Amino acid sequence: MTLPPVLILGGRSDIGLACAHAFAAKGHPVQLAARNAAALQPEATDLGLRHAVPVSTHEFDVLDTAGHAAFLDALPAAPGIVVCAIGMMGAQEASEIDFAAAAQVMRSNFEAPAAILGLVANRMEALGSGTIVGISSVAGDRGRATNYVYGSAKAGFTAFLSGLRNRLAQTGVHVVTVKPGFVATRMTAGMDLPARLTAQPEELGAAVVTAVIRKRNVIYVRPVWALVMAIIRTIPEPVFKRLKL
C-alpha cells in the first residue's frame, strides 16, 4: 500500500526532523519545508537512505503568508499528513519592552502557523481526508510571568487547532494537538530542565505518529505533563499571583 506524503513545516527544527524520521520509518514519503531549504539536503539524503523513502525539500517562510497558497500549489504531491513544527520562543524580557519582538513571537507561533494550516484544512476538506498535526505547548495552558508572550501565542494556536478539529469532525479530516512539555532541542539548550519532564525529540516523533494512527485529539508527549498542568490550572488566581513560575 502506498502511504501518503507527510509535509513537515519547520523541517529544520529538531522536532520537525524527529517527526520526519518517525513517519519515514513507517514508509511515508517526506516533504521537508523550511527557509533556506537547499541547506536541508544533507538531512533529506540521510532520511532517504535510512528509511528508503522519497524525500524532497521545499523553500518555505511561514511569515510570508501571502505566499502560502503558491507554496502548497508547488508541492510535488498533495500531502496526506501535515505536521506544523514551527515555533519561536523569543526572550520574554525583550518582548516586555519591544512590541516588535513580541509581535514576532506571536506571529511565529500563532498567526502564521494558523494561516498555513487554515489553507491546508480547506484543501483537505475538499478531498475529504487528511490529518493536521499542530505542535503547540503546555505554555498555552496558563499564562505565567516568565513566558506569557510565547504562552499566549501558543494558547491561541491551541484554541485554533481545537476549533479546526471541531469544524472538520464530520469531513474525514482529523486534527491533532501536541503539547510537548520540555524537549531537549537546540531551542532549550543551556536550560536547566528536569529529566523526568524532558522528552527527547525521537520520543516526541514516535508519540506524534502514534497519535495520528490512533486519531488522538490532544496529547501531552509525557503524560505527567497532563497532571502538572492540571494542577497549575487549578491554582486560585490570588495564590498564583504570588508565585514566580
In order of their start, the domains of the chain are 6-241 (3.40.50.720)
Give the range among 6-15, 50-59, 105-114, 182-191 with minimum mean pLDDT: 182-191
| Average confidence (pLDDT) over 219-234 | 96
Q: For residue 79, what are the CA distances in angstroms to 72, 114, 195, 238?
A: 9, 17, 35, 47
CA distance linking residue 157 with residue 160, whole number of Å: 5
The CA distance from 242 to 164, in Å, is: 36
**What number of CA atoms fall less than 13 Å from residue 183's CA on the CB side?**
29
Residue 199 pLDDT exceeds 90: yes
Place of cell 512539555: 181
Residue with cell 502560502: 68
Q: Are 232 and 141 in contact (CB under 8 A)?
A: yes
Beta-strand ranges (E) seen in the chain are: 6-9, 30-34, 55-59, 81-84, 130-135, 173-179, 182-183, 198-199, 218-220
pLDDT exceeds 80 at position 187:
no
Banded model confidence at residue 143, pLDDT cuts 50, 70, 90 = very high
Looking only at the bridges linking them, the beta strands covering 182-183 and 218-220 are unpaired
- Consecutive H or E run containing 189: none
Question: DSSP 3-state assignment of 10?
Answer: coil
Quote the cell numbers at residue 190. 543551556
The set of cell numbers assigned to 216 is 488522538
Instruction: Measure the CA–CA gap between 94 and 102, rounded to whole angstroms.
Output: 8
This prediction's pTM: 0.95
Percent of the chain surpassing pLDDT 70: 100
Residues belonging to the active site = 150
